Chains A and B, each alone.
Chain A
Amino acid sequence: MKAWLPALLRLAVLVLLVVFITSPNWFEPLLKPLTENGAPAIYNQGSLLTLTLQHLRIVLMATVAATIVAVALAILVTRPAGAEFLPLSRSLVNIGQTFPPVAVLALAVPAVGFGEKPTLIALFLYGLLPIFENALTALTTLPGNVMEAARGAGMTGWQRLMKVELPLSAPVILGGIRLSVVISLATATIGSTVAAKTLGEVIIAGLISNNLAFVLQGGLIVAALAVLIYDGLSAVERYAARRMGQGAE
């Protein structure tokens, strides 16, 4: 019974989340005690469903772009031709992580204006780092005997990359993507301070009008999304690891 309890819990969270964003008004009595002076308990300046989908869309776009660029860069610096960039790329990743997301977001505004664009840039830059770091770790710590065997079997550099290195690195790279997605989900809420359409709008509306019900529903939707996506990607990662014969868990 212990084994399926977490799965059931996740399913319950998912069902609750879907019901909440599609028909939030059913939950009004629950949130009503948090409001004062008859303020609305359910966000009324837009549909929660649309905002959630827009939130997910921004995160998805940024993560896909970040994954492509980060993995490509990691491949580049681990090839002989790009080896010169390896030490520098390591320190750049270290430096990049010290940039606070709010600063990245605010500094992107003068370059591209308000709205979705600065948020995408901030999420993209911020998402690059964990993926790049993990891809680099995976590609530089491949088992030497496997690489030797691939070379001995007469594989070209391209074949080794596509058939040996990338599949073997997939679980660790996925781990980086998972981290990046969870960070982006939370960071995207801050995007609403520069007028991006995300769930942050709900939270900020709550902060401005002193309406805790708004803050709570915005925060909980994002948190539930993060937990569910984190778990889902963990499962994909375990599956990839098992396929690569690293299923030691």
Chain B
Amino acid sequence: MTLRLDKLGVVIAAIVAYAAFLAPFATFRANRIVPGQARSILEALPPAPGMLLLAIVIAAAVVALLRTPLFLRLAASGAALVALTILIGVAGGFLTSAGNTFARVSPASGFWLLIFAFTLLLADVLTLLNLSPWARVGVLVLAALAIAALLVSGRWDSLSILKEYASRADSFWAEASKHVTLALGSLAGAVIVGIPLGILCHRVERLRAGVLNVLNIIQTIPSIALFGLLIAPLGWLALHVPGAATIGIRGIGTAPAFVALFLYSLLPVVANTVVGLAGVPRAANDAARGMGMTDRQRLFDVEFPLAFPVILTGIRIVLVQNIGLATIAALIGGGGFGVFVFQGVGQTAMDLVLLGALPTVALAFAAAIILDAVIEMTATKRRVETA
């Protein structure tokens, strides 16, 4: 049997070799803002787990390096990721002496690179397995449950990011719900307004170029400026329109953030509705007309179902984009995970930045996977029905 090298494996093994032996695994700091001291895997962990982690990581890298069956690569990447995530918590406890509440331990570049390398391997395996949409959502749920279990079990409690969380647990969940409300609420608004507007643009050709141009220009205004510019009109509304202030319209805070996200969301929704409707085959429309369908019936029974996957793609773009942009709302007092990001940047407390950034990335990532699966399901369903 000849051993053959896998090209991606060479890349992964190179990253692993650098990350495991040359880069720091964890950073130890005497308190939360002083510069940290680097600790390698063997320094950061008690001898037994340290050797175990090195063994697992090297074994997994060898599996990646050689041409091995898919299931073995899946197992190797899974085992390495589980070992890394559990043992970084052990490192936190090992490096902090008992009762020391000031010391901070956070994952360092070596840890992140190892996670990156094995996620790369896992992503490659999952791509090659060509999973069905349901299976992909299943993998996502599994990963989410594993992370939730680690969080609940308290194995990560000695890590710096969770110490940041512990000191602001209440506000974390308040900002989390604000973040989700902002992203989903503005998406809902954009769908309610955008789809009818898209249908109108499709039917009335003269409107189309004008509406799309205006929406295009709105997209070019930088997000922080748009958020800021809405302060004035909304502040004016709150002062001069009776009842506006009582339903939460205010110059600063959630209202301008909501309106800005809504404006950014309109273009993808309207444009995709127009493209989707324009892509409806002429034959389908002619047949519907020939059957004596009214305009309204044609819209709801023929055009809309056929255009749905394309419209859904627009909604996916908007949701992922909104989850990211909602972080900027914090600059104008709109709340959301951005609060922690910008506080952290201001205090140069990077673990606080992570506390805001990691949930944002996770949310956007989950939203993308779920909506991609839904899009694929509606598209294949349609193909089966029309076949």
Which residues of A come within 8 Å of B, CB atoms?
A: 34, 82, 84-85, 87-88, 90-92, 94-95, 97-103, 106-107, 109-111, 182, 185-187, 189-190, 193-194, 199-200, 203-204, 206-207, 212, 215-216, 218-220, 222-223, 226-227, 230
Are the C-beta atoms of A207 and B228 separated by less than 8 Å?
Answer: yes
Chain B nearest CB: distance from A206 CB in Å?
6
Complex Cα distance, B345 from A101, in Å, reads 14
Chain B, residue nearest A195 (CB): B345
Contact A219 B229 (CB under 8 A): yes
The digit string for B240-253, where 1 denotes a CB below 8 A from any CB of A, is: 00000000000000
In the complex, chain A residues whose CB is within 8 Å of the CB of B28:
none
B223 lies within 8 A of A190 (CB):
yes
**Which of B122-130, B162-170, B277-285 is found at the contact surface with chain A?**
B122-130
Q: Which of B136-195 contact A (CB under 8 A)?
A: none
Chain A residues with CB under 8 A of B231: 212, 215
Q: Is B224 an interface residue (CB 8 A)?
A: yes
Q: What residues of chain B lie closer than 8 Å to A193, measured between beta carbons?
A: 224, 331, 342, 345
A106 interface neighbour in B6, B221, B225, B357, Cβ under 8 Å:
B357
Beyond A85-B8, A227-B220, list 13 extra A-B contacts (CB 8 Å). A91-B123, A98-B320, A98-B364, A98-B368, A102-B324, A102-B341, A109-B350, A186-B223, A189-B225, A190-B224, A193-B345, A215-B228, A220-B225
* Given A85-B8, A88-B123, A107-B353, A100 and B361 contact (CB-CB distance below 8 Å): yes
Which of A95, A194, A219 is B225 in contact with, Cβ under 8 Å? A219
Could you say which of A82, A103, A212 contacts B229, with CB atoms under 8 Å apart?
A212
Task: Tell whether A103 pairs with B228 under 8 Å between CB atoms, given A98-B365, A111-B109.
Answer: no
The answer to whether A190 touches B217, judged by C-beta atoms less than 8 angstroms apart, is: no
A94 touches B368 (CB 8 A): yes
Q: Which residue of A lies closest to B7 (CB)?
A: A84
Contact A100 B324 (CB under 8 A): yes
Chain A residues, CB < 8 A from B217: 223, 227
Set B8, B220, B325: member contacting A100, Cβ < 8 A: B325
Q: Considering the chains assembled together, what is the distance between the CA atoms of A84 and B11 in angstroms?
A: 12
Q: Is B60 an interface residue (CB 8 A)?
A: no
Can you identify 5 A-B contacts, CB atoms within 8 angstroms? A106-B341, A194-B345, A218-B225, A222-B221, A223-B225
- Which secondary structure dominates where chain B touches chain A? helix
Whether a CB of chain A sits under 8 angstroms from the CB of B328 is yes
- Interface contact B225-A215, CB-CB below 8 Å: yes
Chain B CB within 10 A, most for which of A92, A185, A215: A215
The smallest beta-carbon distance between B281 and chain A, in angstroms, is 21
Bound form: Cα–Cα A92–B127 in Å: 10
Q: Give the contact-size bracket for chain B.
A: 35 or more
Q: Is the CB of A222 within 8 A of B365?
A: no
B232 contacts A34, C-beta separation under 8 Å? yes
Counting from the closest, the 3 A-B pairs by CB-CB distance are A100-B324, A219-B225, A215-B228
Contact residues in A for B225 (Cβ distance below 8 Å): 189, 203, 215-216, 218-220, 222-223
Distance in Å: Cβ of B263 to nearest Cβ of chain A: 13
B200 in contact (CB, < 8 A): no
Known A98-B364, A100-B325, A190-B223: A84·B8 in contact at CB below 8 Å: yes
Complex-state Cα separation, A148 to B324, whole angstroms: 45
Question: Which residues of B have CB within 8 Å of A101?
Answer: 324
Residues of A within 8 A of B372 (CB): 94
A-facing residues in B194-245 (Cβ within 8 Å): 217, 219-226, 228-229, 231-232
Q: Is the CB of A204 within 8 A of B353?
A: no
Q: What CA separation (Å) do A25 and B191 show in the bound complex?
A: 42
Q: In the complex the two chains form, is A100's CB within 8 Å of B224's CB?
A: no
B338: which of A102, A107, A109, A200 is its contact (CB, 8 Å)?
A102
Task: Give CA–CA (A127, B316) in the complex, Å.
Answer: 20
User: In the bound complex, how far is the Cα of B128 from the Cα of A227, in angstroms?
Assistant: 41
Is B15's CB within 8 Å of the partner chain A?
no
Q: Do A182 and B220 contact each other (CB < 8 Å), given the known contacts A107-B354, A203-B225, A206-B228? A: yes
The CA-CA distance from A94 to B222 in the complex, in Å, is 23
